[in-house]
Amino acid sequence: MALALALLLTFAALARPLGPGGPPWLKLVTTLGLGLGVAGSALLTSLKGRGQAEMLAFYAFLTLAVDGIGQVIGPDGWPGWPLMALFLASVAVAESLPLALGVAALASLLAVGEAAVTGFAAWKPAFAASLGYAALVLAVNRALVGEKRRLSQTLSELAKLRYGIDQLEDEGARAVRPNTPAHALKQVTEEGRRSRQLDRAAELDEALRRIVGVARTALQAHGVLYFDVDRTHDSAYLRAHDGPPTLVVPDVRLPLASDPFAFVLDRNTAFYATDFKRLLWALPYYRGEVKVGSLLAVPVRTGDVIAGVLVADRLEIQSFTGGEPDMLAAFATLAADAILQARASLSREEADVEFKAVYPLSQKLATLSREPEVRDLLLRSAKNLIALSGASVVITDDLLSRYVVTESFGWMADYQRREVGLSEKTWAAWVLRSAEDPYLLDDLAGHDQRMPVLVLDEAGGRAESLLTVPLRARNRTLGALVLSGRRGAFDSASQRVLAILANQAAATLSLIRDKERQTELAVRDGLTGLYNRRAFNELLTQAVAREDRQGGHFGLLLLDLDHFKKLNDTYGHPAGDAALKSAAEVLKRHLRKGDLAARYGGEEFVAILPASDETGATHLAERVREAVQANRLVFEGAKMHVTASFGLAVWPRDAKDAEGLLAAADRALYAAKQAGRNRVVAASALVTPAALSPP
């Protein structure tokens, strides 16, 4: 129906009804007919699909509509042929050549009709348009075919490279200077790995070509071809061949469901066919019909997996008899050995690259003595290895109750120095609680469990892919390296290198902490945890030198537990130790940040109070004295009442050196004892008896 209406309007268009001489009613009817025809044929095409009649009608109506526009604008001096040329070019791009030529023929007919109305006075433009329309369609079509061929060849080359690289896989953006750790890390990335795979794939291609060439000569075959089996894409890819060069279709890809591949893969055995024209005369890897009489296909096994299929054919029927199948199977074994050797070579090269990347960093880690240096090196190594959107090193506390976001990069730097409880629902907390190996979430947004990465109030959607590498040493989790990047950023090689670096960084952190603990034990009192006397003497010397340089002052507080010998004699030495520990805890609670306390010996304690004058130091000493007095110490059911006496001196008013300052504080302490104990006495007040009165 639509096609008939289009034919009717075509005959009407030859009379140029939309031209200047046509009556208005005819112009209206023609315009309505064209509009309804275009809309109706488009609707029919969409409802019924791309049927031939519907498509012809649709393009006929469009051609008539474009011609109608030309009739309307022509009298004003605007030619209609450029619009028609654009329309025909678009049809040539979108549709097949026969359909485009049909539309061009209709456009030419309408151009002839335009000339006929004027008595063929303008026959030359009509003739030129007719030839030009056809030539335009042919030119656009040929150009499109050429571009498609070029694209097909490019895709074929890409497929060849991809299949070559895939066979090497075992079944199952910053510029850096060469010969540096950063350059070595760069070689581990997917870019460097892909380059090495391409090199090994090219070597494997050459080896396979030699094998099929020798096999063809030995078997006197018409052609020998090796196909890679690609189960991911369910296809067999022609990787190497030796046969008539004009007949073989290079880089062809065939479905695994077709024979001989389906037979070989399903039954894990060789396939043989002879005098089977329907199959052998229409082999898809040959151009056109080749009258193959016999075909033999054998599996190429790498271990328990069929990695490829080796195919040989002859033009004679009843061929490949006797020992020839075993000979082809031997060549298949050679192909399998070539594949395995290429894999082993690539594996050795990957291991060598990873070793070269890790070794200098391991040497550097061994020289570091501070935790921030270790964390910074670990973070910089990760940045050199992978293109990251964010990175952070999180460190747990000794009680494994929380973690701190330390050195950070990218969006994670917004949360540096934040503390988060290990019981919170974040990915970092989950890894620190549960994981012992690197944990990868390549599609973080698509994971069933929705959690923030570092902190509870972080903005969502800032990480596509997440890799967390625990820092473990001696069966203890010290922290984790938390990295985010684009999807697919964390390949297996990068994960292996990061895991090695993380383990070595964790070992270095553990060693640094052990050294710090040993240092602490050397300068700390074992009973109270305060500095010991030797460490205090060094701290006091440093304080004098510092304040002398800066022109400042500081206070020195010396305190002694009252009647301590009597307490020991009454309750025993364990009770005395409990009293000392309790007094040390009271002292630590009341001192300011920056104040330094030490056990000076026996029941004596001392504290350095930076930037304190006598008034401030006296107030602090009174608070400590009152807290010691108020503290109710119970030991094995016995209630012990403990008090302390305090002597106070200020540098440089009371002495100019460390020894003199200690002597002044000691004299003040002696005065406090003599005045009745449980009081604070300043060295400057020793000359006034009022200073010795009870509080």
What DSSP designation does 474 have?
A: T
CA angle 17, 22, 25 (to 5 degrees): 90
Given a cut of 80, whether residue 442 has pLDDT beyond it is: yes
Separation between Cα atoms, residue 348 and residue 490, nearest integer Å = 21
DSSP 586-611: HHHHHSPTT-EEEEEETTEEEEEEET
**CB-CB contact of 469 with 502 (8 Å):** yes
Given a cut of 60, whether residue 565 has pLDDT beyond it is: yes
| pTM metric for this prediction | 0.48
pLDDT above 70 coverage of the chain, percent: 83
Of residues 250, 237, 264, 252, the one with CA closest to residue 164: 237
Separation between Cα atoms, residue 430 and residue 315, nearest integer Å = 67
What DSSP designation does 178 have?
A: T
Instruction: Render the burial of 550-581: b for 16+ CB within 10 Å, e for the rest.
Output: eeebbbbbbbbbbebeebbeebeeebbebbbe
The confidence score (pLDDT) of residue 506 equals 92
Q: Where in the chain is the domain with CATH 3.30.70.270?
A: 533-692
The confidence score (pLDDT) of residue 170 equals 47
Separation between Cα atoms, residue 164 and residue 343, nearest integer Å = 11
Rounded average pLDDT over 189-216: 80
For 468, the token pair is 């967390």
The confidence score (pLDDT) of residue 22 equals 67
Residues 178-200 have pLDDT tens digits of 444 444 444 455 556 666 677 77
Residues 471-487 have pLDDT tens digits of 999 889 999 999 999 88
Confidence tier at 35 by pLDDT (50, 70, 90): confident
Confidence tier at 560 by pLDDT (50, 70, 90): very high
What DSSP designation does 168 have?
A: H
Residues 139-176 have pLDDT tens digits of 887 887 776 666 555 445 544 444 444 455 544 433 43
Rounded average pLDDT over 292-313: 93
The confidence score (pLDDT) of residue 4 equals 67
The confidence score (pLDDT) of residue 496 equals 84
Given a cut of 60, whether residue 445 has pLDDT beyond it is: yes
With residue 634 as reference, give the H or E element that holds it: strand 632-635
CA atoms within 13 A on the CB side of 500: 17
For 497, the token pair is 């290198």
Rounded average pLDDT over 397-413: 91
Sign of the C-alpha dihedral, residues 24, 28, 34, 37? negative
What's phi and psi for 408, nearest 5 deg? -140, 165
Given a cut of 60, whether residue 48 has pLDDT beyond it is: no
pLDDT above 90 coverage of the chain, percent: 45
The confidence score (pLDDT) of residue 632 equals 83
Confidence tier at 694 by pLDDT (50, 70, 90): very low
With residue 537 as reference, give the H or E element that holds it: helix 533-550
The confidence score (pLDDT) of residue 693 equals 44
Confidence tier at 120 by pLDDT (50, 70, 90): low
Of residues 216, 227, 241, the one with CA closest to residue 271: 227
List Cα–Cα distances, 642 to 138, 562, 563, 629, in angstroms.
Answer: 110, 7, 8, 6
- Estimate the share of the chain in helix, then strand, then coil, as percent rounded to the nearest 5: 55, 20, 25
The rounded mean pLDDT for the chain is 83
- Which CATH number is 206-347 given? 3.30.450.40
Give all strands of the β-sheet with 235-242 in edge-to-edge order.
253-255, 235-242, 223-230, 305-314, 294-302, 271-274
The confidence score (pLDDT) of residue 189 equals 54
* Partner residues linked to 296 by β-bridges: 272, 312
DSSP three-state, residue 659: helix
Given a cut of 90, whether residue 130 has pLDDT beyond it is: no
Strands (DSSP E) found in 147-257: 223-230, 235-242, 253-255
The confidence score (pLDDT) of residue 95 equals 79
Given a cut of 70, whether residue 271 has pLDDT beyond it is: yes
* Partner residues linked to 312 by β-bridges: 224, 296
The residue with tokens 């090199």 is 199
Give all strands of the β-sheet with 390-396 in edge-to-edge order.
419-421, 402-410, 390-396, 476-485, 465-473, 439-441
DSSP three-state, residue 476: strand
Radius of gyration of the chain (CA): 46
Residues 590-624 have pLDDT tens digits of 999 899 999 998 999 999 999 999 999 999 999 99
Rounded average pLDDT over 363-388: 89
The confidence score (pLDDT) of residue 478 equals 93
Separation between Cα atoms, residue 14 and residue 110, nearest integer Å = 6
The confidence score (pLDDT) of residue 16 equals 64
Residues 81-117 have pLDDT tens digits of 777 788 778 888 777 788 888 877 877 777 776 766 6
Residue scoring higher pLDDT (178 or 134): 134
The confidence score (pLDDT) of residue 171 equals 45
Residues 677-687 have pLDDT tens digits of 999 999 998 85
What's phi and psi for 479, nearest 5 deg? 165, -155
The confidence score (pLDDT) of residue 123 equals 62
The confidence score (pLDDT) of residue 174 equals 39
Confidence tier at 63 by pLDDT (50, 70, 90): confident
Task: Domain 368-521: give its CATH superfamily.
Answer: GAF domain (3.30.450.40)
Of residues 422, 433, 423, 431, the one with CA closest to residue 483: 431
Determine the distance from the C-alpha atom of residue 169 to the mean position of all C-alpha atoms in its chain, rounded to a whole number.
21
The confidence score (pLDDT) of residue 399 equals 83
Separation between Cα atoms, residue 286 and residue 208, nearest integer Å = 20
The confidence score (pLDDT) of residue 198 equals 73
Q: Where in the chain is the domain with CATH 3.30.450.40?
A: 206-347, 368-521
Separation between Cα atoms, residue 555 and residue 575, nearest integer Å = 31
The confidence score (pLDDT) of residue 695 equals 46
Task: Domain 533-692: give its CATH superfamily.
Answer: Reverse transcriptase/Diguanylate cyclase domain (3.30.70.270)
